[in-house]
Structure 1
Amino acid sequence: MNFWLRNIVLGLFLTALAWAFFANQDFLLSLDGSLGKVDKSAITSTTTVVDTIPQTSKSKKDEYQQGRASTNAAAIGLSKFYANLHGDMDGKGPKIRNNIVYLPQPKGDLTKLLQAREMIVRPYKKNWQGSVESRPFRRGETLNQKLAEYSEQDGVDLIWWLNRDYVVKDPFRIEKNILKTALQVAKAVEGHFESGLSIFFCYRQRAIVIIESAPQPFLDEECILLSGIKTY
Protein backbone atom coordinates (compact mmCIF):
# COMPACT_ATOMS: atom_id res chain seq x y z
CA MET A 1 0.00 0.00 0.00
CA ASN A 2 2.71 2.47 0.98
CA PHE A 3 4.75 1.43 -2.07
CA TRP A 4 1.96 2.27 -4.49
CA LEU A 5 1.14 5.53 -2.66
CA ARG A 6 4.80 6.66 -2.86
CA ASN A 7 4.93 5.92 -6.62
CA ILE A 8 1.66 7.73 -7.27
CA VAL A 9 2.94 10.87 -5.42
CA LEU A 10 6.27 10.78 -7.34
CA GLY A 11 4.43 10.42 -10.63
CA LEU A 12 2.22 13.40 -9.86
CA PHE A 13 5.32 15.50 -8.95
CA LEU A 14 7.12 14.65 -12.19
CA THR A 15 3.96 15.34 -14.19
CA ALA A 16 3.63 18.79 -12.52
CA LEU A 17 7.33 19.56 -13.15
CA ALA A 18 7.02 18.65 -16.85
CA TRP A 19 3.92 20.82 -17.18
CA ALA A 20 5.71 23.76 -15.51
CA PHE A 21 8.69 23.47 -17.91
CA PHE A 22 6.56 23.50 -21.04
CA ALA A 23 4.36 26.29 -19.68
CA ASN A 24 7.44 28.55 -19.00
CA GLN A 25 9.63 27.46 -21.92
CA ASP A 26 9.74 30.95 -23.52
CA PHE A 27 10.79 32.60 -20.26
CA LEU A 28 13.62 30.12 -19.67
CA LEU A 29 14.95 30.52 -23.23
CA SER A 30 14.90 34.33 -22.98
CA LEU A 31 16.79 34.15 -19.68
CA ASP A 32 19.48 32.01 -21.34
CA GLY A 33 19.81 34.54 -24.16
CA SER A 34 20.20 37.41 -21.69
CA LEU A 35 23.07 35.63 -19.98
CA GLY A 36 24.80 35.19 -23.34
CA LYS A 37 24.47 38.91 -24.09
CA VAL A 38 26.02 39.87 -20.78
CA ASP A 39 29.10 37.78 -21.48
CA LYS A 40 29.54 39.30 -24.95
CA SER A 41 29.21 42.82 -23.55
CA ALA A 42 31.89 42.12 -20.96
CA ILE A 43 34.27 40.95 -23.68
CA THR A 44 33.58 44.05 -25.81
CA SER A 45 34.18 46.33 -22.84
CA THR A 46 37.54 44.70 -22.16
CA THR A 47 38.56 45.12 -25.79
CA THR A 48 37.64 48.80 -25.69
CA VAL A 49 39.86 49.43 -22.67
CA VAL A 50 42.82 47.79 -24.39
CA ASP A 51 42.26 49.85 -27.55
CA THR A 52 42.39 53.15 -25.65
CA ILE A 53 45.97 52.65 -24.43
CA PRO A 54 47.70 53.48 -27.77
CA GLN A 55 45.48 56.55 -28.09
CA THR A 56 46.81 57.89 -24.79
CA SER A 57 50.41 57.35 -25.94
CA LYS A 58 49.72 59.15 -29.19
CA SER A 59 48.25 62.08 -27.31
CA LYS A 60 51.42 62.45 -25.22
CA LYS A 61 53.55 62.33 -28.36
CA ASP A 62 51.42 65.03 -29.98
CA GLU A 63 51.87 67.25 -26.93
CA TYR A 64 55.64 66.74 -27.10
CA GLN A 65 55.75 67.67 -30.80
CA GLN A 66 53.59 70.73 -30.17
CA GLY A 67 55.95 71.81 -27.39
CA ARG A 68 58.95 71.47 -29.70
CA ALA A 69 57.17 73.40 -32.43
CA SER A 70 56.33 76.22 -30.01
CA THR A 71 59.94 76.45 -28.86
CA ASN A 72 61.25 76.49 -32.42
CA ALA A 73 58.74 79.17 -33.37
CA ALA A 74 59.92 81.35 -30.47
CA ALA A 75 63.55 80.93 -31.49
CA ILE A 76 62.83 81.73 -35.14
CA GLY A 77 60.78 84.78 -34.18
CA LEU A 78 63.55 86.12 -31.96
CA SER A 79 66.14 85.58 -34.70
CA LYS A 80 64.00 87.54 -37.15
CA PHE A 81 63.66 90.28 -34.55
CA TYR A 82 67.45 90.52 -34.26
CA ALA A 83 67.79 90.57 -38.04
CA ASN A 84 65.39 93.51 -38.31
CA LEU A 85 66.85 95.57 -35.47
CA HIS A 86 68.58 98.01 -37.82
CA GLY A 87 66.21 97.76 -40.77
CA ASP A 88 66.42 100.12 -43.73
CA MET A 89 67.18 103.80 -43.49
CA ASP A 90 64.29 105.82 -45.02
CA GLY A 91 63.22 102.67 -46.87
CA LYS A 92 66.24 102.86 -49.20
CA GLY A 93 68.72 100.81 -47.21
CA PRO A 94 71.72 102.00 -45.20
CA LYS A 95 74.11 104.58 -46.62
CA ILE A 96 77.67 103.52 -47.41
CA ARG A 97 80.55 105.98 -47.57
CA ASN A 98 84.28 105.23 -47.51
CA ASN A 99 83.59 101.60 -46.61
CA ILE A 100 81.48 102.68 -43.62
CA VAL A 101 77.88 101.44 -43.50
CA TYR A 102 75.73 103.96 -41.62
CA LEU A 103 72.95 102.19 -39.76
CA PRO A 104 70.02 103.55 -37.73
CA GLN A 105 70.48 103.73 -34.00
CA PRO A 106 69.76 100.32 -32.41
CA LYS A 107 66.18 100.12 -31.19
CA GLY A 108 64.59 98.12 -28.42
CA ASP A 109 65.57 97.14 -24.90
CA LEU A 110 68.82 95.17 -24.97
CA THR A 111 68.23 93.79 -21.48
CA LYS A 112 64.82 92.41 -22.45
CA LEU A 113 66.25 90.91 -25.62
CA LEU A 114 68.89 89.04 -23.65
CA GLN A 115 66.39 87.93 -21.03
CA ALA A 116 64.12 86.60 -23.77
CA ARG A 117 67.00 84.73 -25.38
CA GLU A 118 67.97 83.19 -22.04
CA MET A 119 64.56 81.52 -21.92
CA ILE A 120 65.00 79.65 -25.22
CA VAL A 121 68.66 78.56 -25.19
CA ARG A 122 70.79 76.37 -22.96
CA PRO A 123 73.61 78.27 -21.26
CA TYR A 124 77.27 77.71 -22.04
CA LYS A 125 79.83 77.20 -19.32
CA LYS A 126 81.39 80.37 -17.99
CA ASN A 127 84.82 79.41 -19.34
CA TRP A 128 83.55 78.50 -22.83
CA GLN A 129 85.62 80.03 -25.66
CA GLY A 130 84.46 78.28 -28.82
CA SER A 131 86.37 76.56 -31.59
CA VAL A 132 89.71 77.76 -32.95
CA GLU A 133 89.50 78.13 -36.74
CA SER A 134 90.98 80.21 -39.53
CA ARG A 135 88.14 82.59 -40.34
CA PRO A 136 88.46 84.66 -43.53
CA PHE A 137 87.05 88.17 -44.00
CA ARG A 138 86.92 88.81 -47.75
CA ARG A 139 86.75 92.02 -49.74
CA GLY A 140 83.22 93.39 -50.05
CA GLU A 141 81.88 91.58 -46.98
CA THR A 142 81.00 93.47 -43.80
CA LEU A 143 82.46 92.81 -40.36
CA ASN A 144 79.04 92.40 -38.78
CA GLN A 145 77.89 90.04 -41.52
CA LYS A 146 80.85 87.65 -41.29
CA LEU A 147 81.24 87.82 -37.52
CA ALA A 148 77.54 86.98 -37.11
CA GLU A 149 77.96 84.04 -39.49
CA TYR A 150 80.97 82.65 -37.62
CA SER A 151 79.30 83.18 -34.25
CA GLU A 152 76.24 81.25 -35.38
CA GLN A 153 78.44 78.32 -36.42
CA ASP A 154 79.63 78.13 -32.80
CA GLY A 155 76.07 78.32 -31.46
CA VAL A 156 76.37 81.95 -30.34
CA ASP A 157 74.30 84.95 -31.38
CA LEU A 158 76.13 88.17 -32.26
CA ILE A 159 74.40 91.35 -31.14
CA TRP A 160 76.07 94.22 -33.02
CA TRP A 161 74.61 97.07 -30.97
CA LEU A 162 76.19 99.83 -33.06
CA ASN A 163 75.03 102.38 -35.62
CA ARG A 164 77.86 101.57 -38.01
CA ASP A 165 79.21 98.56 -39.86
CA TYR A 166 82.34 98.30 -42.00
CA VAL A 167 82.97 96.89 -45.47
CA VAL A 168 86.17 94.85 -45.75
CA LYS A 169 88.56 96.64 -48.11
CA ASP A 170 91.60 94.40 -47.75
CA PRO A 171 90.95 90.69 -47.04
CA PHE A 172 92.37 89.15 -43.87
CA ARG A 173 92.10 86.06 -41.66
CA ILE A 174 91.90 85.52 -37.92
CA GLU A 175 92.88 82.13 -36.53
CA LYS A 176 91.59 82.21 -32.96
CA ASN A 177 88.56 81.09 -31.00
CA ILE A 178 85.32 82.96 -31.68
CA LEU A 179 85.58 85.16 -28.57
CA LYS A 180 89.08 86.39 -29.42
CA THR A 181 88.01 86.81 -33.05
CA ALA A 182 85.10 89.04 -32.03
CA LEU A 183 87.35 91.04 -29.71
CA GLN A 184 90.01 91.60 -32.37
CA VAL A 185 87.44 92.72 -34.97
CA ALA A 186 85.82 95.13 -32.52
CA LYS A 187 89.15 96.58 -31.40
CA ALA A 188 90.06 97.23 -35.05
CA VAL A 189 87.16 99.70 -35.43
CA GLU A 190 87.04 100.97 -31.84
CA GLY A 191 88.72 104.25 -32.84
CA HIS A 192 85.61 105.25 -34.81
CA PHE A 193 83.64 105.56 -31.57
CA GLU A 194 84.34 108.38 -29.16
CA SER A 195 83.78 106.36 -26.00
CA GLY A 196 85.33 103.17 -27.38
CA LEU A 197 83.70 99.75 -27.53
CA SER A 198 82.91 97.07 -24.98
CA ILE A 199 82.68 93.42 -25.97
CA PHE A 200 80.71 91.08 -23.70
CA PHE A 201 80.26 87.33 -23.72
CA CYS A 202 76.89 86.46 -22.18
CA TYR A 203 77.26 82.73 -21.55
CA ARG A 204 73.78 82.25 -20.09
CA GLN A 205 72.24 83.83 -23.18
CA ARG A 206 74.85 82.39 -25.59
CA ALA A 207 75.46 85.81 -27.07
CA ILE A 208 78.34 88.14 -27.92
CA VAL A 209 77.45 91.80 -27.52
CA ILE A 210 79.47 94.58 -29.17
CA ILE A 211 78.34 97.93 -27.84
CA GLU A 212 79.67 101.46 -27.23
CA SER A 213 81.37 101.76 -23.86
CA ALA A 214 79.01 103.11 -21.20
CA PRO A 215 77.60 101.91 -17.88
CA GLN A 216 75.71 98.68 -18.61
CA PRO A 217 74.32 97.27 -15.32
CA PHE A 218 72.81 94.12 -16.84
CA LEU A 219 75.83 93.31 -19.00
CA ASP A 220 78.26 94.05 -16.17
CA GLU A 221 76.41 91.68 -13.85
CA GLU A 222 75.32 88.89 -16.21
CA CYS A 223 78.10 88.80 -18.81
CA ILE A 224 81.90 88.68 -19.09
CA LEU A 225 83.79 91.71 -20.39
CA LEU A 226 86.30 90.46 -22.97
CA SER A 227 88.60 93.47 -22.98
CA GLY A 228 91.07 91.67 -20.71
CA ILE A 229 91.57 88.75 -23.13
CA LYS A 230 94.81 88.82 -25.10
CA THR A 231 94.15 88.61 -28.83
CA TYR A 232 97.62 87.44 -29.86
Structure 2
Amino acid sequence: MRRLTALCLALALPASLSAQEEAADFDVSFAGIRGGTLSIRATEADGAYQAVGTAATSGLVGGLFSLKTEARASGRVQGNTYDPAAYDEVTVERGERKTKQIRFQGGYPAVTQDPPDTKRRSFHADGKDFPAAVDPMTGLYALLRARPAALACNLDISTYDGREVHRIRLGGGRMDGARHVCAGQYIRVAGYRQKDLADASMRDFVVIYDTSRGEPWPVVEVRARTSYGNMVFRRR
Protein backbone atom coordinates (compact mmCIF):
# COMPACT_ATOMS: atom_id res chain seq x y z
CA MET A 1 0.00 0.00 0.00
CA ARG A 2 2.84 2.41 0.82
CA ARG A 3 4.37 1.97 -2.63
CA LEU A 4 1.03 2.54 -4.36
CA THR A 5 0.39 5.69 -2.39
CA ALA A 6 3.91 6.96 -2.98
CA LEU A 7 3.11 6.96 -6.69
CA CYS A 8 0.29 9.43 -6.07
CA LEU A 9 1.89 12.83 -5.63
CA ALA A 10 0.42 16.27 -6.51
CA LEU A 11 1.34 19.90 -7.19
CA ALA A 12 0.79 23.60 -6.20
CA LEU A 13 2.87 26.24 -7.97
CA PRO A 14 2.96 30.04 -8.37
CA ALA A 15 1.16 31.49 -11.37
CA SER A 16 2.95 32.87 -14.42
CA LEU A 17 1.31 34.58 -17.38
CA SER A 18 3.82 33.08 -19.79
CA ALA A 19 3.79 29.59 -18.29
CA GLN A 20 1.71 26.55 -19.19
CA GLU A 21 -0.19 25.60 -16.07
CA GLU A 22 -1.99 22.38 -15.26
CA ALA A 23 -4.18 21.18 -12.42
CA ALA A 24 -5.90 17.85 -11.89
CA ASP A 25 -7.58 16.05 -8.99
CA PHE A 26 -8.16 12.29 -8.92
CA ASP A 27 -10.04 9.92 -6.65
CA VAL A 28 -8.19 6.64 -6.12
CA SER A 29 -10.08 3.39 -5.49
CA PHE A 30 -9.04 -0.21 -4.88
CA ALA A 31 -11.47 -2.99 -5.79
CA GLY A 32 -14.24 -0.40 -5.96
CA ILE A 33 -13.50 0.98 -2.48
CA ARG A 34 -12.33 4.56 -2.15
CA GLY A 35 -8.73 4.48 -1.01
CA GLY A 36 -7.23 7.91 -1.52
CA THR A 37 -6.94 11.20 -3.34
CA LEU A 38 -4.38 12.53 -5.79
CA SER A 39 -4.04 16.14 -6.91
CA ILE A 40 -1.74 17.53 -9.58
CA ARG A 41 -0.57 21.11 -10.21
CA ALA A 42 2.31 21.94 -12.53
CA THR A 43 3.93 24.87 -14.31
CA GLU A 44 6.08 24.68 -17.43
CA ALA A 45 7.84 27.63 -19.08
CA ASP A 46 10.85 28.03 -21.37
CA GLY A 47 11.66 24.32 -21.22
CA ALA A 48 11.61 24.19 -17.39
CA TYR A 49 9.00 22.42 -15.26
CA GLN A 50 8.01 22.51 -11.61
CA ALA A 51 5.64 20.04 -10.01
CA VAL A 52 4.44 19.63 -6.43
CA GLY A 53 2.42 16.63 -5.38
CA THR A 54 0.08 15.51 -2.57
CA ALA A 55 -1.41 12.05 -2.17
CA ALA A 56 -3.31 10.76 0.85
CA THR A 57 -5.25 7.72 1.91
CA SER A 58 -8.94 8.32 2.59
CA GLY A 59 -12.23 6.52 3.06
CA LEU A 60 -12.06 2.98 4.47
CA VAL A 61 -8.38 2.63 3.57
CA GLY A 62 -7.61 5.90 5.33
CA GLY A 63 -9.32 4.60 8.46
CA LEU A 64 -7.02 1.58 8.47
CA PHE A 65 -3.81 3.11 7.18
CA SER A 66 -3.02 6.81 7.52
CA LEU A 67 -0.49 8.09 5.00
CA LYS A 68 0.05 11.47 3.33
CA THR A 69 2.85 12.32 0.92
CA GLU A 70 3.80 15.70 -0.51
CA ALA A 71 6.52 16.08 -3.12
CA ARG A 72 8.11 18.73 -5.31
CA ALA A 73 10.17 18.21 -8.46
CA SER A 74 11.84 20.56 -10.91
CA GLY A 75 14.00 20.29 -14.00
CA ARG A 76 14.08 20.63 -17.78
CA VAL A 77 11.73 19.06 -20.31
CA GLN A 78 11.54 18.70 -24.08
CA GLY A 79 8.68 16.66 -25.47
CA ASN A 80 8.62 13.43 -23.47
CA THR A 81 12.25 13.73 -22.36
CA TYR A 82 12.88 14.93 -18.78
CA ASP A 83 16.08 16.14 -17.12
CA PRO A 84 15.28 16.53 -13.41
CA ALA A 85 17.30 18.72 -11.06
CA ALA A 86 15.73 18.31 -7.60
CA TYR A 87 13.11 16.31 -5.73
CA ASP A 88 11.84 16.90 -2.17
CA GLU A 89 9.36 14.66 -0.38
CA VAL A 90 7.63 14.78 3.00
CA THR A 91 5.68 11.75 4.20
CA VAL A 92 3.57 11.49 7.35
CA GLU A 93 2.75 7.87 8.16
CA ARG A 94 0.75 7.11 11.29
CA GLY A 95 1.95 10.41 12.75
CA GLU A 96 5.63 9.84 11.94
CA ARG A 97 7.24 12.44 9.66
CA LYS A 98 9.93 11.46 7.15
CA THR A 99 11.74 13.51 4.52
CA LYS A 100 13.63 12.57 1.36
CA GLN A 101 15.68 14.62 -1.09
CA ILE A 102 17.06 13.56 -4.46
CA ARG A 103 19.60 15.74 -6.20
CA PHE A 104 20.91 14.98 -9.66
CA GLN A 105 24.63 15.56 -9.34
CA GLY A 106 26.47 15.06 -12.61
CA GLY A 107 23.31 13.42 -13.93
CA TYR A 108 23.17 10.82 -11.17
CA PRO A 109 20.39 10.70 -8.55
CA ALA A 110 21.84 11.15 -5.04
CA VAL A 111 19.44 10.49 -2.13
CA THR A 112 19.38 11.77 1.44
CA GLN A 113 16.71 10.84 3.99
CA ASP A 114 15.72 11.86 7.52
CA PRO A 115 15.59 9.59 9.41
CA PRO A 116 18.20 7.53 7.49
CA ASP A 117 17.04 4.45 5.61
CA THR A 118 17.94 1.73 8.12
CA LYS A 119 16.01 -0.93 6.17
CA ARG A 120 18.15 -0.67 3.05
CA ARG A 121 19.39 -4.06 1.82
CA SER A 122 22.17 -5.20 -0.49
CA PHE A 123 19.75 -5.84 -3.35
CA HIS A 124 18.43 -2.27 -3.37
CA ALA A 125 19.50 -0.19 -6.37
CA ASP A 126 22.28 2.42 -6.38
CA GLY A 127 21.42 5.62 -8.26
CA LYS A 128 24.90 5.71 -9.82
CA ASP A 129 23.96 2.66 -11.86
CA PHE A 130 20.92 4.41 -13.38
CA PRO A 131 21.95 7.86 -14.62
CA ALA A 132 18.91 8.16 -16.90
CA ALA A 133 16.36 7.57 -14.13
CA VAL A 134 14.12 10.41 -12.92
CA ASP A 135 12.53 11.00 -9.52
CA PRO A 136 9.04 9.65 -8.67
CA MET A 137 7.29 13.02 -8.99
CA THR A 138 8.74 13.68 -12.42
CA GLY A 139 7.65 10.19 -13.45
CA LEU A 140 4.12 10.79 -12.22
CA TYR A 141 3.95 14.18 -13.91
CA ALA A 142 5.12 12.65 -17.19
CA LEU A 143 2.45 9.96 -16.92
CA LEU A 144 -0.58 12.05 -15.88
CA ARG A 145 -0.06 15.39 -17.62
CA ALA A 146 -2.17 16.47 -20.59
CA ARG A 147 -0.42 15.70 -23.87
CA PRO A 148 -0.88 16.44 -27.57
CA ALA A 149 -1.91 13.44 -29.66
CA ALA A 150 1.64 12.80 -30.94
CA LEU A 151 3.01 12.42 -27.38
CA ALA A 152 0.04 10.88 -25.57
CA CYS A 153 0.93 7.19 -26.06
CA ASN A 154 4.66 7.64 -26.55
CA LEU A 155 6.38 7.48 -23.16
CA ASP A 156 9.34 5.41 -21.97
CA ILE A 157 10.82 6.59 -18.67
CA SER A 158 12.50 5.05 -15.62
CA THR A 159 12.08 6.24 -12.02
CA TYR A 160 14.33 5.86 -8.96
CA ASP A 161 13.11 6.40 -5.39
CA GLY A 162 16.31 5.62 -3.47
CA ARG A 163 15.77 1.87 -3.42
CA GLU A 164 13.96 0.68 -6.53
CA VAL A 165 13.96 1.39 -10.25
CA HIS A 166 10.82 1.04 -12.34
CA ARG A 167 10.25 1.52 -16.05
CA ILE A 168 7.02 3.18 -17.21
CA ARG A 169 6.05 2.60 -20.82
CA LEU A 170 3.07 3.78 -22.86
CA GLY A 171 2.48 2.65 -26.42
CA GLY A 172 -0.09 1.91 -29.06
CA GLY A 173 -3.38 3.69 -28.51
CA ARG A 174 -6.93 3.29 -29.78
CA MET A 175 -10.01 5.45 -29.94
CA ASP A 176 -13.08 4.51 -27.87
CA GLY A 177 -15.67 7.16 -28.69
CA ALA A 178 -14.25 10.47 -27.48
CA ARG A 179 -11.59 8.72 -25.41
CA HIS A 180 -8.12 7.59 -26.41
CA VAL A 181 -6.87 4.49 -24.59
CA CYS A 182 -3.14 3.80 -24.19
CA ALA A 183 -1.66 0.50 -23.03
CA GLY A 184 0.99 0.86 -20.35
CA GLN A 185 3.49 -1.21 -18.40
CA TYR A 186 5.03 -0.61 -14.96
CA ILE A 187 8.07 -2.86 -14.91
CA ARG A 188 10.40 -3.70 -12.02
CA VAL A 189 13.97 -3.09 -13.18
CA ALA A 190 16.16 -3.20 -10.06
CA GLY A 191 16.08 -2.94 -6.28
CA TYR A 192 14.28 -6.23 -5.67
CA ARG A 193 15.32 -9.74 -4.78
CA GLN A 194 15.86 -11.71 -7.96
CA LYS A 195 12.76 -13.82 -7.35
CA ASP A 196 10.60 -10.69 -7.02
CA LEU A 197 11.73 -8.94 -10.22
CA ALA A 198 9.28 -10.96 -12.31
CA ASP A 199 6.26 -10.02 -10.17
CA ALA A 200 3.67 -8.79 -12.67
CA SER A 201 0.87 -8.00 -10.17
CA MET A 202 0.82 -4.35 -11.23
CA ARG A 203 2.64 -4.53 -14.56
CA ASP A 204 -0.15 -3.81 -17.05
CA PHE A 205 -2.32 -0.71 -16.91
CA VAL A 206 -4.20 1.66 -19.21
CA VAL A 207 -4.23 5.45 -19.41
CA ILE A 208 -7.36 7.08 -20.84
CA TYR A 209 -7.38 10.57 -22.38
CA ASP A 210 -10.41 12.74 -23.14
CA THR A 211 -10.21 14.03 -26.73
CA SER A 212 -13.56 15.84 -26.80
CA ARG A 213 -12.10 19.31 -26.17
CA GLY A 214 -9.18 19.08 -28.56
CA GLU A 215 -5.46 19.06 -27.79
CA PRO A 216 -3.75 18.75 -25.45
CA TRP A 217 -5.69 15.74 -24.21
CA PRO A 218 -6.17 15.52 -20.41
CA VAL A 219 -5.86 12.19 -18.60
CA VAL A 220 -9.24 11.27 -17.12
CA GLU A 221 -8.61 7.73 -15.89
CA VAL A 222 -5.89 5.21 -15.12
CA ARG A 223 -6.67 1.53 -14.49
CA ALA A 224 -4.36 -1.19 -13.17
CA ARG A 225 -4.61 -4.60 -11.57
CA THR A 226 -2.87 -4.88 -8.20
CA SER A 227 -2.70 -7.37 -5.34
CA TYR A 228 -5.39 -5.21 -3.67
CA GLY A 229 -7.74 -5.60 -6.66
CA ASN A 230 -8.32 -3.19 -9.53
CA MET A 231 -6.84 0.25 -8.85
CA VAL A 232 -8.52 3.18 -10.57
CA PHE A 233 -7.52 6.86 -10.72
CA ARG A 234 -10.59 8.78 -11.86
CA ARG A 235 -10.39 12.50 -12.56
CA ARG A 236 -13.01 14.64 -10.85
**TM-score after normalising by structure 1:** 0.26
Choose 1 or 2 for highest CA Rg.
Answer: 1
Which has the larger strand fraction?
Answer: 2
**TM-score after normalising by structure 2:** 0.25
Which has the larger helix fraction?
Answer: 1
